A and B are shown apart, each in its own frame.
Chain A
Amino acid sequence: MTTFVLFLTVLLACAVEAVEALTIVLAAGTSRHWGSAWQGTVAALLTLAATVAVLGPAVGQIPLGALRLLVGALLLVFGLQWLRKAIMRGSGYKALHDETQAYADEVAAASGAAQGGRGRVKDWYAFTLSFKGVFLEGLEVAFIVVTFGDNQHDIPVAVLGAVVAVAIVAVAGFAVRAPLARVPENTMKFVVGTMLTAFGVFWATEGAGADWPGSDAALLVVVPAVALLALGYTSVLRRARASGSLRTAHPTEGSLT
């Protein structure tokens, strides 16, 4: 795995998580109270930093084989979830993830919640909504950074990928003060799902004790193979829908872009 591929994989995966976190923070800030939303965001980032500082180094103490087995299995399960949803959206079986709708839903839920603050936090709902969104999505970012970085013995590049992703999304999001509806999210999810699944397969197989033909070079086959498999499934499902034999109750326009 080259340094660039590591950087790009982490950047894409973290960008998707950052878009989701930003949507929640923007909804909390716009509909409730910006100050409390910021406090929730900062509190979540501090909690996240403390969590990673305590648990992160422990990952490095686990034997590499066991680490690859555990991390590979988790990445594989994550990757298959992402890939399945991207295929369903790409073939029209599931509505494309619409950040505008997600933003509207969050705003509606936030507007309907009770007012009230605690201590220095003027709006407890905006605080907890931001905290939850940033902490949970941030936890996934931290997991991706630590596992990819540790497996490739290049934590700094993984951290750089995550920081660049979060910075780009944050700047873009706050520049327009609106959900990032124009980000081709399903394309990103398709790519990230492919990468997570491919690396999951590669590391978990190695962790289980098997040796890939060609060692690390096998990744050059595994990644495109997973992508082709997913594109193939998308194509089959799309054709099945078009033929009319498998129409859904709420037909949606399928697209990977």
Chain B
Amino acid sequence: MSVVERAGSALRSFGRFWYDFVVGDDWRVALGVAVALAATWGLTRSGVNAWWLLPVAVALLLALSLFRVVRAARAAAQGPGGA
């Protein structure tokens, strides 16, 4: 393996570590949190005290994340043929 390939591999490992550390295994949750925070910031800047937005977003994001897991489990239980 050349020096360039080793450096590329090390960079990929470094990036994967930080992605796993910060984002985790459901990127949609991380994205949803970022969008909710941006919306809270925007509403607050325009004079709305949007303290309620993030709790609502968290309840929805958690429910959606769980729903995806359940749907995957149900699909696995039914098998590839859908039986």
Digitize B3-19: 1 where CB-to-A-CB distance is under 8 Å, 0 elsewhere.
00000000000000100
B3 to chain A, nearest CB (A): 20
Interface size on A, residues (CB 8 A): 41
Among B21, B51, B69, point to the contact of A211 (Cβ < 8 A).
B51
**Do A77 and B30 have beta carbons less than 8 Å apart?**
yes
Q: How far is the CA of A39 from the CA of B40 in the complex (A)?
A: 48
Q: Which residues of B contact A209 (CB under 8 A)?
A: 40-41, 44-45
Known: A73-B37, A249-B77. A81 touches B24 (CB 8 A): yes
**Beta-carbon contacts of A197-216 to B below 8 Å, as 1s and 0s?**
10001001101111111000
B22 sits at the interface (CB 8 A): yes
Contacting A at CB under 8 A, from B6-61, are: 17, 21-26, 29-30, 33-34, 37, 40-41, 43-45, 49-51, 53-55, 58-59, 61
Q: Which residue in A80, A211, A240 is a CB contact (below 8 Å) of B58?
A: A80
Stretch at the interface among A11-19, A49-57, A83-91: A83-91
Min distance, Cβ B56 to any Cβ of chain A, angstroms: 10
Contact pick for B61, options A80, A140, A212, CB 8 Å = A80
Asked, given contacts A73-B34, A93-B69, whether A233 binds B58 with beta carbons under 8 Å apart, the answer is no
Bound-complex Cα distance A78 to B29 (A): 10
Binding site for B on A (CB under 8 A): 69, 73-74, 76-78, 80-81, 83-84, 87-88, 93-94, 136, 139-140, 197, 201, 204-205, 207-213, 218, 222, 225-226, 229-230, 233, 237, 240, 246-249
